[in-house]
Amino acid sequence: MKRFALVLALIFGNIIAKAQFLDELTVKLHDPSDLKKDVWLAQTILEKENPNLYLYISKKQLNKKFDSLRNTIREPITSIGLYVKLLSVISYIGDGHLTINLDLTKLSLDDVAVLKKPSLQHPIYQFDYHVIANRLYVIKNGTADSSIKVGTEILAINKVPAAKLIDSLSQYITSDGFNTTYKKFLMNKGYFAERYRFLYPKKEPLTFDLRSEQGIKELTLNSFQKVSYSLSVSPLPTVEYKLLSPDSSIAYIKIRTFYNDDKFVGYDSIFSDIKKRNLETLIIDLRDNIGGATHWSSSVYSYLIDTTTYFYRLPSEIMKQKILFDNPQIRNWAKRASTYKFPTVTPKASGFRGKIYVLINGGSFSATSLLAANLQNLKNVIFVGEETGGSKNIWTAGVMKNLTLPASKLLLTYGNIPAYFGNINEIDGRGVRPDIPISYDIEQYLAKKDLEMEWVIKDIAKEAQLK
């Protein structure tokens, strides 16, 4: 009986602790001096441990932004308030692996749901949104007004033009360098509404200017009650392989992630089957793959090369090139890291040597952009789609570290190993660009068109006619 009571005490104690932590983030007002200390700590740690901190922004510019942030903290604010302010600084660093987060691990699933979408929901959540270029569309209507059809364009919210809102909110999303496709990808995964809500937290009515086939109309939305909210999503297989038709010579591999569990056996059976069938063409779909373990992305590469090669290089391997070392911090860090090793990739016996089409978009990030950058070295590859969200030649990741800021309890996550790949003579802050750029309009998106695959199939047919 005592043991049962102890178990109950632990369970309820944990529930209470998690509820208190939710209040710590969303309700408790922190003293400005304590929050300024959090900002100083975040800045100091990054200066010490991020070797690429000034790759896209100068030390002077970054110091000015941190100073400006501290100067805005004049009155007590919540952790959420500091979260928004820090996001606006960190996004300018241009490191997609460097983020400031709300530590959701200390919350129950119900509390995460409350945090992400409170029961009394902000009016912004009455629609689901999709960004195309600098235009904003409704892709799900949760309002009582059934006349608002999916595909309706939002011209403005509270008289702020949609294009200006998109640009403003993108400054609260981190990405590699000057890349914008990853930011748009995340906006379309719910970041548009979430960032808007954190930036404009008051649940006051929102006025939407809308345009559709019926013309232009104005709609005012209030906060509303949400009966339930679920975080559960059935995961799709991490990788799928098929022939485009039973008698096809075209193989298609969809790799959704490189975050594979312990049961994942790798890609050998796929490439062995391709080799056994003597297939001539391979389509590798890396769209919406935000990355994962680099050993899995390098494993894919090992089936596509014919000589042993580097997958990425750490500073010790590129010391002689004197590239990127104008910055003393990076140069000194490279000297300290001179003992680090770096991976090479050895060709697999069941490798593929035919024509390869690689489908990419803004969701192709981290280990996925690393794979795409290496695939650029091959002569038999055509990239189709959109610029990758991840860099084409450098990121700072490797060992990821987490630091909880004492007052706000926000979680600073950052990498501290710089990896170099692709053409490191052109560090321009961009991703892998496609050979064949593909863009969608809202009608094509809603019709679930796959314009990348359509182009590839036409190109394969064209090649077949020339043989």
Tens digits of residue pLDDT in 123-153:
999 999 999 999 999 999 999 999 999 999 9
Q: How confident is the model at residue 359 (pLDDT cuts 50, 70, 90)?
A: very high
The lowest-confidence range among 44-53, 251-260, 309-318 is 309-318
Per-residue pLDDT at 191: 94
Per-residue pLDDT at 4: 30
Is there a contact between 394 and 417 (Cβ–Cβ < 8 Å)? no
Average pLDDT in the chain: 87
Confidence check: pLDDT of 11 > 50? no
Confidence check: pLDDT of 331 > 80? no
Confidence check: pLDDT of 252 > 50? yes
Per-residue pLDDT at 344: 84
Nearest to 134 by CA among 179, 175, 180: 180
Per-residue pLDDT at 110: 67
Per-residue pLDDT at 37: 97
Per-residue pLDDT at 103: 76
Model confidence over 346-356: pLDDT tens digits? 999 999 999 99
Is there a contact between 38 and 407 (Cβ–Cβ < 8 Å)? yes
**In the chain, % of residues over pLDDT 90:** 66
Cα 101 versus chain centre, distance: 13
432, burial (CB in 10 Å: exposed 0-12, middle 13-18, buried 19+) = buried
Q: Domain residue spans in the chain? A: 15-112, 120-225, 239-398+417-466
Per-residue pLDDT at 34: 97
Helix (H) or strand (E) holding 139: strand 135-141
> How would DSSP label each residue in 226-267?
-S------PPPPSEEEEESSTT-SEEEEEE--B---TT---S
Q: What would the mean pLDDT of 49-62 be, rounded to a whole number?
A: 90
Q: What would the mean pLDDT of 375-381 be, rounded to a whole number?
A: 94
Confidence check: pLDDT of 419 > 90? no
The lowest-confidence range among 43-47, 232-236, 261-265, 271-275 is 232-236
Per-residue pLDDT at 15: 35
Per-residue pLDDT at 174: 94
Per-residue pLDDT at 379: 93
**In the chain, % of residues over pLDDT 70:** 83
Per-residue pLDDT at 329: 61
CA distance 397 to 395: 6
Confidence check: pLDDT of 24 > 90? no
Per-residue pLDDT at 124: 93
The lowest-confidence range among 126-135, 174-183, 291-300, 330-339 is 330-339
Confidence check: pLDDT of 2 > 80? no
Q: How confident is the model at residue 8 (pLDDT cuts 50, 70, 90)?
A: very low
Is there a contact between 289 and 257 (Cβ–Cβ < 8 Å)? yes
Per-residue pLDDT at 270: 97
CATH fold of 120-225 reads Pdz3 Domain (2.30.42)
CA distance 385 to 368: 14
Which amino acid does the sequence have at 123? P
Per-residue pLDDT at 233: 61
Q: What would the mean pLDDT of 294-306 be, rounded to a whole number?
A: 95
CATH number for the 239-398+417-466 domain, one of 1.10.443.10, 3.30.9.10, 3.40.50.970, 3.90.226.10?
Answer: 3.90.226.10
Per-residue pLDDT at 303: 97
Per-residue pLDDT at 325: 57
CA distance 49 to 401: 10
Model confidence over 165-211: pLDDT tens digits? 999 999 999 999 999 999 999 999 999 998 998 888 887 899 999 99
Q: Which residues are within 8 A (CB) of 95 and not within 5 positions of it... i.e. 6 or more apart?
A: 50, 52, 53, 55, 174, 176, 395, 396, 414, 415
Q: What would the mean pLDDT of 369-376 be, rounded to a whole number?
A: 96
Residue 141 per-residue DSSP state: E
- Cβ count near 302 (within 10 Å): 20
Confidence check: pLDDT of 38 > 60? yes
Per-residue pLDDT at 318: 56
The CATH number of the structural domain formed by 15-112 is 3.30.750
Q: Which two tokens stand for residue 262?
A: 């312990």
